[in-house]
Chain A
Amino acid sequence: MAQPSETTNKHTISVLVDNEAGVLARVVGLFSGRGYNIESLTVAEIDAKKSLSRINIVTSGTPMIIEQIKAQLTRLVPIHKVRDLTLDGARVERELALIKVRGRGNRRVESLRIADIFRASVLDSTNESFVFEIVGSAEKVDAFVKLMESLGLSDVSRTGVVAISRGEETM
């Protein structure tokens, strides 16, 4: 007679998969087919010898939905492991973004000043534009992008979140 909680929370889920054709389509198809949310998704091979890739997914849902997402992922044949980094204790999350800002005069100086505060570096510059690189939590990137909006923000490219657990434990 237990009752499930109805609160929606954001979760970062890491998935270890065989790096084979169609595996990303299986994961993405699962989310779209069952109506789950994807806030961000990153994927890259992490072990060429064993041909393993790691997919990091940021999603949100009630505890029942999150459990369901993990169970459905586990069910996919080429998936080795599913870890809910949000539930499994401390973790480190990073996102990288490239941000183009166009402007002249004071606005240009201001954008450079803020970039300095955020420890964003300048990767490219013209007389009228900068490309900044910023690394940090998704929230930090969000804050930086927001500040740039009034200073000539013209293009944003973000990687999505990569995450790993803190401490000695491995996936």
Chain B
Amino acid sequence: MTDQKLNGSQILLKALVDQGVDVVFGYPGGAVLPIYDELFKQNAIRHVLVRQEGGAVHAAEGYARSTGKVGVVLVTSGPGATNSVTGLTDALMDSIPVVCLTGQVPTHLIGNDAFQECDTTGITRSCTKHNYLVKDPNDLARVVHEAFHVARSGRPGPVVVDLPKDVSMGMGTYSPRASVRKMSYRPRLRGDSAMIEKAVDIMARAKRPIFYCGGGVINSGPAASKRLGELVHATGFPCTLTLMGLGAFPASDRQFVGMLGMHGTYEANLAMYHCDVLINIGARFDDRITGKIAEFCPKATKIHVDIDSSSINKSVFVDIGIVGDAANVLKEMLAHWQLKRRHLERKALAKWWTQIDKWRARDCLRYRQDSKVIKPQYAIQRLYELTKDRDDVYITTEVGQHQMWAAQFFRFEKPNHWMTSGGLGTMGYGLPAAIGAQVAHPKALVIDIAGESSIMMNIQEMSTAAQHRLPVKVFIINNEYMGMVRQWQELLHGGRYSESYMDSLPDFVRLAESFHAVGLRATRPDEVDDVIKEMIAIDRPVIADIRVDKKENCFPMIPSGAAHYDMLLGPGDEAENKISEDGMVLV
């Protein structure tokens, strides 16, 4: 049986089915026509036709992040491949498992500047975890299996498989999944036990500890989030999460002190500054988190658990680095903790919590409610309040102020329900990502919390939602500005709003209608609830245009290059803080 000859496209689809793939996001073109022909003849794999290849990769990311499975993309050569580059970079920065199959001109034309040729493996080398150019149909199955293994294991990431047309048309034999192993690739999954024990020793003696956790916990799977919850509860320590980590620990838990970083909470950032032991699980000391490195957790003994050894000691020097999968390391930490807990510094910990509660009392997310103008925070808060009793709500975002407000005001209790472009900060991510999440969860309520500028970057995907009957909701926080750009111009560039006003915006209600969706609008605070309820009730794609305060800024904010204690806390506090020259060159 295994010696049976198949054409390359049949081999490819067989390999995808073997890998458990049931949906592919893609766009056809000359170099992938043989593959599309085979897709046409089968029913095992569903194809979701996007409107631009960039949308396909983000959709695959949304699918992957909401399921924990690998997202799959199929695009043609040349422009198909280059359009997917932003999505691949996004997936690399946020460690999202994606396999992107790109068509390529026939092998004998490679290097000839043929029509729709580009050096796909060259272009994507630095924006993928790994990439392949397949030159023989007999290698194809092995490469595809390997690509999935590389994409999903270790620190997940995007993998490109470049498929010349003569390979997808030529005959070859299939090799099953089990027979594939890449000798040079062996991610380390189990942490060093001695180091883990040492880390727990340090934790047990801590007087002002804090857990700082990120997307690595979510990538590690639901077991990691569960164990993190157990460890945080067993220790009684406070826990803060990064933008990528939201949902890894329940937002409603008393021990959760909110998100940290540039737009994190007052209590989280001050707890970071003053802590004596920092326990980082699956976060990477991103510059949006650390602020000024020299003043980052200056008094803390630092413990860092990461599956990627290159994350350890990259920007912040740590005392204990543990390379391993979060779920495994957390399990071992829990076991050790049971033995050490009697040494706990209970008095000091109680004092620490008293301090944290004082910071909390500052109520840093407070905003001025208004009876005439919709505050963006209010809109998102109401969206949360009116959906929090459902457990099938998936939120994606675009990038900017609305993204930060969503992170602050939408509260996540479980992993895999929050999808946002964290590392790359890709405007246009949210709508295709919502489409991907909706494909994976057809009955769920999937909402893209968007800005009016970001949504324009991939608005064409509304058409995808309509075609595939994906009832995604686009909740536009419309302030007619690239809000975050305007906020920085206000704070750093003397209020000169250079090119940040979004002129000539479409009428989003009529735009929705032209895309076979429903358009809704709220212009006054008392309309917000009705629009949200109506949006949820409609079993079709909806664009809700929420006209919010044009001048509202996102606080708290740690200006770039400042330390954690240097937070701007909204109107009234602004004048006291100035951003240094050094800070201005940082983005």
Contact = CB atoms under 8 A, between A and B. Distances in A.
A18 B184 contact: yes
Nearest to A73: B310
A3 B150 CA distance: 35
Interface in A97-155: none
Given A1-B300, A4-B317, A72 B184 contact: no
Contacts of A74: 309-310
A21 B302 CA distance: 40
Given A74-B309, A77-B185, A68 B129 contact: no
A77 B319 contact: no
6 A-B pairs with the lowest CB-CB distances in the bound complex, closest first: A71-B310, A77-B130, A4-B317, A71-B309, A80-B184, A77-B185
B447 interface: no
B310 A1 contact: no
A67 B312 CA distance: 9
A78 B186 CA distance: 10
Nearest to A32: B126
Contacts of A21: 133
Contacts of B122: 22, 25
At the interface, is chain B mostly helix, strand, loop or mixed?
loop
A68 B133 contact: no
Contacts of A80: 183-184
A48 interface: no
B309 A1 contact: no
Contact of B310 (A3, A68, A78, A79): A68
Interface string B144-181: 00000010000100000000000000000000000000
B312 A71 contact: yes
A1 B182 CA distance: 39
B436 to A, nearest CB: 25
Nearest to A63: B313
Given A4-B317, A71-B312, A25 B125 contact: yes
Interface of B: 121-122, 125-126, 129-131, 133, 150, 155, 182-185, 299-302, 308-310, 312-314, 317-319
B313 A67 contact: yes
B86 to A, nearest CB: 17
A77 B309 contact: no
A64 interface: yes
B39 to A, nearest CB: 28
A75 interface: yes
Given A29-B126, A77-B184, A68 B317 contact: no
Nearest to A50: B183
B183 A72 contact: no
B107 to A, nearest CB: 12
B184 A1 contact: no
Contact of B313 (A26, A64, A78): A64
A33 interface: yes
Contact of A1 (B125, B183, B319): B319
A2 interface: yes
A29 B125 contact: yes
A17 B122 CA distance: 18
5 contacts: A4-B317, A21-B133, A64-B313, A71-B310, A77-B150
B273 to A, nearest CB: 14
Contact of A2 (B130, B185, B319): B319
Given A1-B299, A78-B184, 12 more contacts: A2-B318, A22-B125, A22-B133, A64-B317, A68-B310, A71-B308, A75-B155, A75-B309, A77-B182, A78-B130, A78-B185, A80-B184
